[in-house]
Structure 1
Amino acid sequence: MLEDEYDRDRRRLPRHLRSRPEPERPFAFELRPAVRTDMADVREIYNYYVTNSVVTFDEKRWTHRRWVEKFDHLSKLGLPFLVAVSPAGQVLGYGLVSPWTGGKSGYRYTVENSIYLGQAAAGKGLGRALLEALIAACEERGIREMVAVISDKGAEASVALHEKLGFVEVGRMGKVGYKFGRTLGTVYLQKHLTPVKRPSLLSRLRSR
């Protein structure tokens, strides 16, 4: 039966007998601390951007081993590494902070954040939720400054999100990167954090 014939026949049916489209399920997720076994999914999310985007200047895909080493390093430092998971347990995105400028001791109260989302999770508020959780977790750890280094091309949504959450542009560097045959610059945004004493965010995430 042709599609238009099916539609005509459907309109002839009494309203109560017509099939109804299933309502779209609401987007749901849970934030929790990352664990080692999440690194396979984290790798796949990140490598998509390595091969398809200029939001990261990496040109070579990360291995699973490299992600596990990064996870272990951040865990040793006590820095937040969060994942967002679906009700079925699928990793939808992740957010982490790393030591600023490679971890020189004089920068110990400053971190750089990174947030990446799976393609199916983009545009649904997940990036904001991860960034808000990272900010809160860093404040609980006594971190005083958070910095974001964002590509000046192809990452306008990321710049806008950071500005909505109180980050201020503090500088730009032009033509410091090169990927996919074009030069790229970076935008630097910074947010002053207020260390607070309250129940651990990660403890609250684990208890949900």
Structure 2
Amino acid sequence: MTEPNPLHIRTATPDDVAAIAFIYGYHALHGTGTFEEEAPSNEDMADRLARVHARGWPWLVAEKDGRVVGYAYAAQFRDRAAYRFAAEDSIYIHPDHMGAGIGKALLDALLPASAEAGFQRMFAVIGDSANMGSIRLHERTGFDHCGKLDKAGFKFSRYLDVVFMQREI
């Protein structure tokens, strides 16, 4: 029997920018997974998408019932030539769909897409050591803990740690 409303993972397009901006904006304004404190404009998100695509890196969306319910992308870990084989992932889920396995589906698709783009190792740089959803997602997908930066950020009137995780891809 097929799932009545299957999740579809595909490459993001410029038509997805408004949905991507909404999802990320929600997390910027209400969450600690990103240390941005303001929601970027659609134009800003379009520029980010274009930069990732221009480098040949993967940016995926999860679609359910014709709506984008999450996205994930991989980009070079740091902007120095020696990092060219190391990626950092970013995964954000629509607030109405968190905890439904969408992040896992996106990360499962992002890993091979990142390998195809030439990356050999992926890092997760997780905002807030209390972000157990993201930490558990990465653990379930084969990431190992490799460090923590204490009080690296300050958002919502409190200090936030950054958790580092990694895996081969």
Same fold (TM over 0.5): yes
Cα shift at 1:122: 1.3
In structure 2, the gaps of 5 or more residues are none
Match of 1:171 in 2: 147
Which of the residues 166, 184, 187 maps onto 2:163?
187
Question: After superposition, where does 1:105-184 map in structure 2 within 5 Å?
Answer: 105-184=81-160
Q: Distance in 2 between matches of 1:133 and 1:123?
A: 17
Match of 1:37 in 2: 15
Please report the RMSD computed on the Cα atoms of aligned residues, expressed in angstroms. Answer: 1.3
Tell me the matched-pair count. 167
Match of 2:34 in 1: 56
Cα shift at 1:34: 0.3
Structure whose alpha-carbon radius of gyration is higher: 1
What is the identity, as a one-letter code, of the residue corresponding to 1:123? G
- SS of the residue aligned with 1:106? helix
The structure with the largest helix share of the pair is 1
Identity %: 34
Cα shift at 1:142: 2.4
| Structure 1 residue 67 corresponds to structure 2 residue 45 | yes
Q: Distance in 1 between matches of 2:95 and 2:38?
A: 19
What is the identity, as a one-letter code, of the residue corresponding to 1:44? F
C-alpha contact 1:55 1:153 (8 A) present in aligned 2: no
Cα shift at 1:26: 4.9
In structure 1, the gaps of 5 or more residues are 1-24, 194-208
Q: Distance in 2 between matches of 1:29 and 1:129?
A: 8
Deviations 1:92-122 (A, max 9, x none): 1100011112x21111001100001112221
The structure with the largest strand share of the pair is 2
TM-score (norm 1): 0.77
Q: Distance in 2 between matches of 1:51 and 1:160?
A: 23
Q: Distance in 2 between matches of 1:136 and 1:146?
A: 11
After TM superposition, which residue ranges in structure 1, 4 or more long, deviate above 4 angstroms? Answer: none
TM-score (norm 2): 0.94
